[in-house]
Amino acid sequence: MFKDKKILVIGGTGAIGDRLVNRLLREEPEVIRVFSRDEYKQYLLQNEINHYDNLSYLIGDIRDYQRLSSAMQDIDYVFHLAAMKHVPSCEYNPYEAVQTNVHGTYNVIQAAMAQGVEKVLFTSSDKAVSPTNTYGATKLTAERLISSTEYSKGEVKTIFASVRFGNVLGSRGSVVPLFQRQIHTQRKITVTDLNMTRFMMTLNQATELMMEALQKAEGGEVFVLKMPVILLKDLAEVVIDETCQKHQLNHEDIQIEEIGLRPGEKMYEELMTYDESTMAWELEEMYIIPGHQQSGLWNLGANRTDHGTYSSNRVTPISVEEVRQLLLSEQLID
């Protein structure tokens, strides 16, 4: 599907964007444009993958419609990954989160329609489901903008869809590198609550999900990967154990300190509400919540899902050893 296509990756210098660009290059597209506002990250990525003639880098911000429109000229597919993602930052700077996550996404939509882009995939978050924080609220609003465009776009042929992520292990700002830094510098790690549960996925899983979702998208869907659930206590213990073994540290010297929930943070996360489950279709690896105008689109090769909230407190967490194998397979312990 991606061979000889022209692709724009917005937010392409983030951890997921970086991995996506590398993965897409293997599909032999005609061009990939990496769009982001971080000059330094672009410099790092250019040094990492500097032997491709079909790769170009564009400095820009999704708050700037004109720059987006220029970047989308003659583009077939758009992956929209750019966002303010840090929950406390969004809590303390809510309008900035709105400017980037909501207005920025609206700009992406308008530019894509104006330039005749074939497909746009927006990356949402589990925090958009029953949101309790600014970040989740802005992601929910952006997700609704994407879905609603399908029944308000008139004769425009651009297809819009979303994919919901849980936490991505190994992404910038994730807890594993934070835990490791704390072990080395403080001989302790701080956790919000040891009983907290989270949906977790790897960078490779996130990349493959985005590519598959773009291929399957017919308009307005939300794609939800079936993800393992990890208990924070198990993740903390595995990171301590593996880091101590690798760096010859005494496991007994490392303390775990519970500090309580941060502003806007939840004890558990949800990927699909009960109401959404009544409409959803199920494949082996994902759920598909159809767009408002779709009826029966996913009955070929898919089954209707059981009704119920898809929540991390309703799914049995994977075992400690499974957590260990997940971290080691992704080479997340430095």
14 Cβ neighbours under 8 A, 6+ residues apart: 36, 41, 81, 82, 171, 172
Express each pLDDT in 170-194 by its tens digit: 777 678 888 999 999 999 999 999 9
The catalytic residues are 127
pLDDT at 293: 59
pLDDT at 300: 57
Look up the CATH architecture of domain 6-167+199-226+273-306: 3-Layer(aba) Sandwich (3.40)
Phi-psi region at 173: left, alpha or beta (left = phi > 0; alpha = psi -120 to 50): left
pLDDT at 195: 94
The low-confidence residues of the chain, meaning pLDDT below 50, are 295
pLDDT at 294: 56
Express each pLDDT in 114-138 by its tens digit: 999 999 999 999 999 999 999 999 9
What's the gap between Cα 246 and its chain centre?
30
CA distance 106 to 179: 36
pLDDT at 164: 94
What's the gap between Cα 300 and its chain centre?
27
Count other C-beta atoms under 10 Å from residue 282's C-beta. Answer: 17
pLDDT at 297: 54
CA distance 288 to 272: 10
pLDDT at 139: 97
CA distance 176 to 238: 10
pLDDT at 299: 58
Domain boundaries, the chain: 6-167+199-226+273-306
pLDDT at 177: 87
